[in-house]
Structure 1
């Protein structure tokens, strides 16, 4: 039976963008707008606040790890002492490539490993929408060990550094998603997979995306009544079962169109549409352009050709 989480991560194509150690002391506050970039932070020592896109401040302590799949606006600040309202701290890069915040004439009381990754999938936004807004994993030793490996590799100049970082980051992402399923309050695929009954239905969808699924079929697979399944699926994932199926089918179709291994009729059949025209209508409504045009556009971009 397919693993929905593994399939999603494979489609997302995560890769390393940036990683750095940040030392801070006293009162400090930094704010960033990183549209579409995944932000992560491991607290190596001390504690601080993280504000993500209008959510309540998150109190992070030594050993905590946070992942924000699409960090549009966020701020980090000291919590002891609290940062004054309006404070904007200018980061100072040190000789050893670490970054210093706040007072620089004393030993740091907060040490962070922060970084960004990017998702190579052109439809990353659609896939990320199936994940929670953010994950916080408290004092998970496996994550801490992986994050430290990321830090060591990022600060070193070893051969194949970027390749190693890419693989470490993928492991870090998988471990975070796996660890956060039980603890995150946010809706999304991971939350759905943490529920054994909803997980059975999700695995059925991923095992046979070409099947003409109904809510009754999925409820039966989950061992629930139709109404109870529909309500719980919505509560866990933040969208209705048929909407999830549509999003997943379109994500699979985009991947197949980019790979150019199948023609439109074959792709339509593989993602559950009885005809090419029905597939084209559904794809166009979701993506904003027909699948043939999307495939041509992706080929042009891959070959660095100008748009015609």
Structure 2
């Protein structure tokens, strides 16, 4: 991978498609989607709707795209919804196409939506680096990507899973870098949009093994220590050292799963002077020692990580 922070996080998430569909809406309607923890995305092709998710009430218009990296309870409804507690389940009218609300008469809204899944064992940690809700407006590329995802999901062509993974990666990156403004929720993409914080974030990703301090990162970012700390926490949603730790642990998990390095080598690659200090930090953060974590990732195969005397 490159040391582009956004590309690294999206690649590590390993997105895979679950389903994609076109929904046509008319009259009063409401769909309550229960929490799954998986990503949800939609593009408003025509009309408008209201979405209530993660404590936010959002009105979406034609040309808007919404991505929720980890869906909790989500309500999607018409601007004039049915009475409280009334849900109107979608009815399939043709493969991949659904109608919701009034089953006859003109269509008032058309929505392309889908769910995917992050296969990474570190998905929860990585998603914590992203905004809770991402809205991009007037980006036709995103609607085109959803159309391609929908077509590929329904087709049964060779290399389908690989194509879908790449399309989802592009969609996630496009959404993250398009849906950024001063009012955006804190997250990695918003941090990368800040010319000062982007320097620090790229430095962390380029050299995770370096003994970074807040003072070092502030100096590289051309900010005072206090201004850098406050700006980073406000914009990214984590304090600088919290972000550094989260990224180091994500990399350590990836390298433990690969099983081609000794624990002491992994420790050095993510900024720890010895296997023992790394083991303490990893255990505190993950809840189990690194060697045990590696064995658990082997689907029950009783194999040991290569270790040296300092880690026995």
CA distance in 2 between counterparts of 1:263 and 1:229 reads: 36
Deviation at 1:159, TM superposition (A): 4.1
**CA distance in structure 2 between the aligned counterparts of 1:239 and 1:96, rounded to whole angstroms:** 43
Would you say 1:62 and 2:62 are equivalent positions? yes
SS at the partner of 1:94?
strand
Q: 1:304 to 1:45 in 2, by over 3 A?
A: farther
1:9-49 alpha-carbon deviations (Å, 9 max, x no partner):
11111111111111110000011123210000011111000
**Cα distance in 2 for residues equivalent to 1:165 and 1:140:** 20
- 1:1-308 to 2 correspondence within 5 Å? 2-55=3-56, 57-79=57-79, 81-182=80-181, 185-300=184-299
Deviation by residue 1:29-87 (Cα, 9 ceiling, x = unmatched): 011123210000011111000110222x11011111000000011110001x3332222
- The 1:158–1:181 alpha-carbon spacing in structure 2 relative to 1, beyond 3 Å, is same
**Distance in 1 separating the partners of 2:28 and 2:59:** 15
Separation of aligned partners in 2, 1:61 and 1:248: 36
Per the normalisation by structure 1, the TM-score is 0.94
Q: What is the DSSP-based 3-state SS (H/G/I as helix, E as strand, rest coil) of the residue aligned with 2:63?
A: coil
CA contact (8 A) 2:20 2:96 kept: no
State TM-score, norm by structure 2.
0.92
Tell me the matched-pair count: 302
CA change 1:184–1:33 in 2 (3 A) is: farther
Please tell me whether the aligned partners of residues 233 and 240 of structure 1 are also in contact (alpha carbons under 8 angstroms).
yes
Preserved CA contact (<8 Å) 2:25 2:101: yes
Equivalent position SS for 2:3: coil
- Inter-partner Cα distance in structure 1 for 2:257 and 2:176: 26
Given that residues 184 and 191 in structure 1 are in contact (C-alpha distance below 8 angstroms), is that contact kept between their aligned partners in structure 2? no
Answer whether contact 1:137 1:183 (CA < 8 A) is retained: no
Q: Distance in 2 between matches of 1:159 and 1:209?
A: 38
Compared with structure 1, are the counterparts of its residues 109 and 123 closer, same or farther at alpha carbon in structure 2 (3 Å cutoff)?
A: same
Distance 1:259 1:181 in 2: 34
SS of the aligned residue for 2:252 comes to helix
Q: What is the root-mean-square deviation in Å for CA atoms of aligned residues?
A: 1.7
CA contact (8 A) 2:54 2:132 kept: no
Return the alpha-carbon distance in structure 2 between the equivalents of residues 35 and 157 of structure 1: 26
Aligned partners of 1:70 and 1:198: how far apart in 2? 25
CA contact (8 A) 2:214 2:241 kept: yes
SS in 1 for 2:94: coil
Q: CA deviation at 1:238?
A: 1.4
Structure 1 gap segments, 5+ residues each: none
SS of 2:299 mapped into structure 1: helix
Structure 1 residue 304, shift from structure 2 partner? 11
User: Could you tell me whether the CA contact under 8 Å between 2:30 and 2:81 is conserved in 1?
Assistant: no
Deviation at 1:154, TM superposition (A): 3.0
Aligned counterparts of 1:72 and 1:279: Cα–Cα separation in 2: 34
Partners of 2:133 and 2:118 lie apart in 1 by 16
Show structure 1 runs of 4+ deviating over 4 A. Answer: none
User: What is the SS of the residue equivalent to 1:130?
Assistant: coil
Could you tell which deviates more after superposition, 99-108 or 125-134? 99-108
